[in-house]
C-alpha cells in the first residue's frame, strides 16, 4: 500500500481481517491449576497476547497498530465463574467497561512514565506492551516506514512531543486496553487533551492545518480496524464514543479547530466509529449545530447532543466536584461519566416503567377511587422496584485490570472517586400514556377497571373499539397533551425520588436515567399488552421516546413534551431519539433550520437528543438485498451500526420507528 487512499479502501473493504488468526490455548485451566490470583491471570494473559500479536505496519500509514489475534482466551473456568457469581454481583461480562481513561496523563507520561508508582502487575503489563511496540519498530523498519519506526521508538521511552506522536500513543494505549480484556473504552474529550499538541505544532510550523486534518481522518479510520472484535450486544455497540466541545471549568467553550476536523473526518469517512457526541449549552454558536447537522443529514445517526446546562449542575448536585463535572464525557452511549476518576457503573440496571403499570393495573386499579390514588400506587411500585433493583446489586466485583489502573487515577476495579450506579428507565411514554388512558376512561367512567384489565389480558382480541380508542384517540406524550406530559414528568420524578437517598454497595449513589439501552426489547417480553393500546409483543420506544404508534403531532410536539421533566435528578443519560426521512434535507437552508431546531431543544431545557435520518424504502430493500447495502448506517440506541449487521429484531424496530413517523 503506497497511499493513504489505498489504505482507506483496504480497511473499509475489511481486507485487513485476513491478517488475523486464532490462538488455541486453554489458559483458564492452566491458571486454575496453578492457582493464580485474578490480577496474575490478567497480567499473564496480557503478556501472552503481546507476545502473540504479530506486528503489521503499512508502508504509507502514519498511525500504526492493528489486531492480528482474533480471540482473547478465557482466564477463568466456567466453574470458577460460577463460584465468583455466588458471592458477587457481576456486571455484564465482569470486566471493566464504560470508562474514560486519563488520556492527558497517558500522552504526557508515555508508556515508561506510567510505570512510576505502579504496582508490579501494571509494570509487567507496560513492559509487555513496550516489547510489542519494539516489535513494531523492527517491522516498520523492515517495510521502510521510517517515520513510524522513529516515532514508535521514541514512544517506548517518553511521552508524546507532537500531535502525530500523541495520536500514535493514543492508538497504542487504546489498542492495549482492549487487548487487556476491558471493553467500551471511550475516547473522551479528544479536542481537549489533544489540543495542546496540535496547537504547539501549528505554532512551531511543523504541522500544517491540511496535514492535521488528514491525520485526524487517518486516526478516525484506525477505530475501524479492530472494532468488529470488540464485544457488544450487537455489532457497532462498541463504546468508541468521542466527545467534542462544551464548557470548561471557567465557563469557556472548548470547541476548537480540532473539533471541526473531527466532524469533517467523520463526514468524509462515513464509518460508524468513532461515534460523535457534542456538548452544547445556551450559548453554543449555531455553526456548531450546523456542522453537526451535516453529519446527521449524511445519515450517520450521530452526533448525539448533551446539554451542559442540565448535565453539569446535575452532576454537581450529585457530589461531583466543580472541575470534574465540567470535564464530563459520555460512556459508550450517552451515560455521563467522568474521565480519570469515574468508576461509576452507568448502565448497571434498568427500571421498566411499563412493567410497573402492568403490576399496578392488575393489583391496584380495582380498589382505587380516583386517578390520584392510582398514581400513588404507581409511585409506590416504582419505589419497590427500585428497592429491589438496588438490593440485587450487592458485592459488585470486577476482574482486576492492571493496565487500566495506571491509565486511570485510581484502582478502577475496586472503585474510585465516584462509584455511582446508573439505572436506565424504559418505556416511560408507554407508562405515561397508559396512566392518561386509565384516568380518562376508567376514572372518567367510560369503562370499568375490570373491563380494561380483561381487555389488556386478552390483548384486545375481543374489544377492537376499545383498542382503537386507546391507541388512536386517547392523548399521548408528544401530542401537546398537558395530562400525558404531566404523567411523564411525574413518573420520572417518582423514579428520581425512589433512588435519591440510596447508597449502593460501593458507597456511591444511584442515578436515574432516561435511556433504554437494549431493554426496550427485553422489557417488552416481560409484559403483555398495555392500557395505552400497545398490543402484546409490540416494542417499547427506544430511550426517551414517544410511543411507537402514537399519532404524534410532530417533532415540535415531541420536544415540547420531552423538555418538561426535571433532569437535574435524572441525569444519567438517555436521549430523545427522533426519526427523519432522509429526503427531507433537500432545499435551501434546510440544515440551518434543523440546526436551529436542535438548538431550540437545548434552549428549552432538553437534556440529550439524537436524530436518525434514513429512507424507509432503503431499509426494506436492505433486508432483502443486504449485499448492496454494506455501509448503510442507522442509529440503534446509543450507537450507530451498519444496518445489515444487526439482528432482524433490531432492524425491524428501526423500520417500525420510521413507518410510524412518515
Partner 1 sequence: MTGRIFNISELTVHDGEGARVTVFMKGCPLRCEWCHNPEGLSFEKQLTYKRKKCVECGLCRKECEHGECKPFGRCLHVCPNNCLDVCGKDYTLRELVGILNGYGKITEILGGGVTFSGGEPLMQWEFISEIIDNLHGMNTAVETCGYVDGKIFRQAVDKLDFIIMDIKLFDRELHRKYTGVYNDIIKCNFRILQNSGKPYLIRTPLIKGKTDGADNLEKIKDFIGDSDWELVPENKLAKSKYNMLEI
Q: Indicate the pairing of strand 633-635 with strand 183-185.
A: unpaired
* Residue (34 or 604) nearer to partner 1, CB: 604
Minimum distance from CB of 308 to partner 1 (Å)?
Answer: 18
Minimum distance from CB of 545 to partner 1 (Å)?
Answer: 16
Smallest CA-to-CA distance from 408 within 35, 69, 117, 39 is with: 117
Minimum distance from CB of 55 to partner 1 (Å)?
Answer: 51
Minimum distance from CB of 294 to partner 1 (Å)?
Answer: 15
Which parts of 318-370 fold into alpha helices (H)? 322-326, 353-363
Q: Where are the beta strands (DSSP E) in 342-384?
A: 345-352
Grid cell in block for residue 384? 419497590
Give the CA angle between residues 372, 378, 381 to the nearest 5°. 145
Give the C-alpha separation, 109 to 103, whole Å.
Answer: 10
* Residue (464 or 507) nearer to partner 1, CB: 464
Minimum distance from CB of 273 to partner 1 (Å)?
Answer: 30
- The answer to whether 612 touches 634, Cβ cutoff 8 Å, is yes
* Residue (599 or 657) nearer to partner 1, CB: 599
* Residue (15 or 593) nearer to partner 1, CB: 593
**Distance set, CA 600 to CA 223, 277, 386 (Å):** 33, 18, 33
* Residue (206 or 604) nearer to partner 1, CB: 604
* Residue (457 or 459) nearer to partner 1, CB: 459
Give the C-alpha separation, 411 to 341, whole Å.
Answer: 10
Give the C-alpha separation, 77 to 133, whole Å.
Answer: 31
* Residue (423 or 467) nearer to partner 1, CB: 467
Minimum distance from CB of 471 to partner 1 (Å)?
Answer: 7
Residue 153's CB is within 10 A of a number of other CB atoms, namely: 16
- The answer to whether 277 touches 241, Cβ cutoff 8 Å, is yes
Q: The cell 426519526 sits on which residue? A: 579
**Distance set, CA 518 to CA 210, 271, 302, 350, 609 (Å):** 40, 22, 18, 10, 18
- Give the residues across from 614 on adjacent strands: 581
Whether the bond between 303 and the residue before it is cis, its omega within 30 degrees of 0, is yes
* Residue (383 or 469) nearer to partner 1, CB: 469
Q: What is the DSSP string of 124-163?
A: HHHHHHHHHHHHHHHHHHHHT-HHHHHHHHHHHHS---SH
* Residue (473 or 647) nearer to partner 1, CB: 473
Give the C-alpha separation, 254 to 246, whole Å.
Answer: 6
* Residue (51 or 593) nearer to partner 1, CB: 593
* Residue (48 or 556) nearer to partner 1, CB: 556
Minimum distance from CB of 293 to partner 1 (Å)?
Answer: 12
Minimum distance from CB of 472 to partner 1 (Å)?
Answer: 5
Contact residues toward partner 1 (CB under 8 A) are 460, 464-465, 467-469, 471-473, 480, 551, 553-557, 559-560, 583-584, 587-590, 593-594, 596-597, 599-600, 603-604
Give the C-alpha separation, 100 to 342, whole Å.
Answer: 8
* Residue (25 or 556) nearer to partner 1, CB: 556
Whether the bond between 656 and the residue before it is cis, its omega within 30 degrees of 0, is no
Smallest CA-to-CA distance from 543 within 569, 519, 521, 575 is with: 575
Minimum distance from CB of 483 to partner 1 (Å)?
Answer: 14
Minimum distance from CB of 590 to partner 1 (Å)?
Answer: 5
Minimum distance from CB of 530 to partner 1 (Å)?
Answer: 15
Grid cell in block for residue 97? 467497561
Long-range contacts of 648-656 (CB under 8 A, 24+ apart): 648/623, 649/521, 650/234, 650/521, 651/619, 651/623, 653/520, 653/521, 653/539, 653/542, 654/612, 654/614, 654/619, 655/616, 655/619, 655/620, 655/623, 656/539, 656/548
* Residue (321 or 581) nearer to partner 1, CB: 581
Grid cell in block for residue 114? 506510567
Q: The cell 460460577 sits on which residue? A: 82
- Give the residues across from 425 on adjacent strands: 351
Grid cell in block for residue 607? 437534556
Minimum distance from CB of 535 to partner 1 (Å)?
Answer: 8
Smallest CA-to-CA distance from 189 within 252, 255, 251, 249 is with: 255
Minimum distance from CB of 553 to partner 1 (Å)?
Answer: 6
Amino acid at each position: 500500500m503506497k497511499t493513504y487512499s489505498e489504505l482507506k479502501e483496504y480497511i473499509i473493504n475489511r481486507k485487513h481481517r485476513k491478517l488475523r488468526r486464532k490462538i488455541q490455548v486453554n489458559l483458564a485451566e492452566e491458571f486454575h491449576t496453578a492457582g493464580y490470583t485474578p490480577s496474575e491471570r490478567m497480567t499473564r494473559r496480557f503478556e501472552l497476547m503481546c507476545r502473540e500479536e504479530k506486528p503489521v505496519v503499512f508502508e504509507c500509514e502514519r498511525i500504526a497498530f492493528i489486531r492480528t489475534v482474533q480471540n482473547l482466551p478465557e482466564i477463568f473456568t466456567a466453574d470458577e465463574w460460577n463460584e465468583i457469581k455466588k458471592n458477587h454481583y457481576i456486571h455484564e461480562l465482569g470486566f471493566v467497561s464504560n470508562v474514560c481513561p486519563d488520556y492527558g496523563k497517558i500522552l504526557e507520561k508515555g508508556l515508561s512514565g506510567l510505570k512510576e508508582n505502579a504496582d508490579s502487575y501494571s509494570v509487567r503489563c507496560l513492559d509487555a506492551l513496550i516489547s510489542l511496540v519494539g516489535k513494531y519498530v523492527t517491522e516498520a523498519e523492515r517495510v521502510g516506514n521510517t517515520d513510524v519506526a522513529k516515532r514508535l521508538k521514541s514512544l517506548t521511552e517518553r511521552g508524546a512531543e507532537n500531535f502525530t506522536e500523541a495520536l500514535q500513543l493514543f492508538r497504542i494505549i487504546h489498542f492495549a486496553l482492549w487487548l487487556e480484556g476491558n471493553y467500551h473504552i471511550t475516547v473522551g474529550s479528544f479536542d481537549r487533551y489533544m489540543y495542546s499538541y496540535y496547537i504547539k505544532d501549528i505554532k512551531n510550523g511543523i504541522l500544517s492545518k491540511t496535514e492535521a486534518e488528514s491525520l485526524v481522518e487517518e486516526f478516525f479510520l484506525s477505530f475501524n480496524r479492530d472494532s468488529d472484535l470488540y464485544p457488544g450486544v450487537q455489532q457497532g455497540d462498541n463504546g468508541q464514543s468521542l466527545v467534542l466541545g462544551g464548557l470548561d471549568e471557567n465557563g469557556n467553550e472548548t470547541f476548537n479547530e480540532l473539533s471541526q476536523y473531527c466532524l469533517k473526518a467523520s463526514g468524509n469517512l462515513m464509518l460508524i466509529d468513532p461515534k460523535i457526541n457534542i456538548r452544547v449549552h445556551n450559548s453554543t454558536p449555531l455553526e456548531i449545530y450546523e456542522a453537526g447537522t451535516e453529519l446527521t443529514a449524511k445519515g450517520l445517526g450521530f452526533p448525539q447532543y448533551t446539554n451542559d446546562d442540565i448535565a453539569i449542575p446535575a452532576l454537581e448536585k450529585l457530589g461531583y466536584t466543580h472541575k470534574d463535572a465540567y470535564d464530563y464525557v459520555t460512556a459508550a452511549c450517552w451515560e455521563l461519566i467522568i474521565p480519570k476518576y469515574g468508576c461509576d457503573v452507568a448502565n448497571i440496571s434498568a427500571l421498566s416503567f411499563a412493567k410497573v403499570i402492568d403490576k399496578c393495573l392488575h393489583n391496584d386499579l380495582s380498589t382505587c377511587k380516583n386517578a390520584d390514588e392510582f398514581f400513588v400506587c404507581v409511585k409506590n411500585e416504582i419505589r419497590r422496584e427500585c428497592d429491589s433493583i438496588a438490593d440485587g446489586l450487592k458485592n459488585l466485583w470486577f476482574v482486576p485490570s492492571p493496565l487500566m489502573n495506571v491509565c486511570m487515577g485510581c484502582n478502577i476495579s475496586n472503585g474510585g472517586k465516584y462509584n455511582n450506579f446508573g439505572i436506565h428507565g424504559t418505556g416511560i411514554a408507554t407508562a405515561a400514556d397508559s396512566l392518561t388512558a386509565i384516568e380518562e376512561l376508567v376514572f372518567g367512567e367510560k369503562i370499568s377497571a375490570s373491563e380494561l384489565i380483561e381487555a389488556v389480558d386478552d390483548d384486545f382480541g375481543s374489544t377492537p373499539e376499545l383498542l382503537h380508542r386507546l391507541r388512536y384517540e386517547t392523548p399521548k406524550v408528544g401530542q401537546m397533551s398537558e395530562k400525558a406530559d404531566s404523567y411523564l414528568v411525574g413518573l420520572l420524578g417518582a423514579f428520581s425520588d425512589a433512588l435519591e437517598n440510596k447508597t449502593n454497595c460501593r458507597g456511591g449513589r444511584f442515578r436515574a436515567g432516561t435511556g433504554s439501552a437494549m431493554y426496550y426489547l427485553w422489557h417488552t417480553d416481560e409484559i403483555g399488552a398495555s392500557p395505552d393500546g400497545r398490543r402484546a409483543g409490540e416494542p417499547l420506544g427506544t430511550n426517551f421516546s414517544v410511543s411507537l404508534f402514537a399519532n404524534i403531532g410532530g417533532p415540535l410536539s415531541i420536544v415540547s413534551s420531552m423538555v418538561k421533566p426535571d433532569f437535574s435528578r435524572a441525569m444519567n443519560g438517555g436521549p430523545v431519539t427522533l426519526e427523519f426521512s432522509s429526503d427531507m434535507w433537500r432545499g435551501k437552508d434546510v440544515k440551518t433550520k434543523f440546526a436551529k431546531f436542535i438548538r431550540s431543544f437545548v434552549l428549552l431545557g432538553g437534556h440529550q437528543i439524537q436524530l436518525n435520518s434514513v429512507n424507509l424504502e432503503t431499509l426494506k430493500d436492505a433486508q432483502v438485498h443486504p449485499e448492496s447495502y454494506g455501509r448503510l448506517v442507522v442509529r440503534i440506541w446509543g450507537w450507530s451500526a451498519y444496518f445489515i449487521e444487526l439482528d432482524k429484531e433490531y432492524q425491524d424496530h428501526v423500520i417500525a420507528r420510521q413507518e410510524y413517523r412518515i
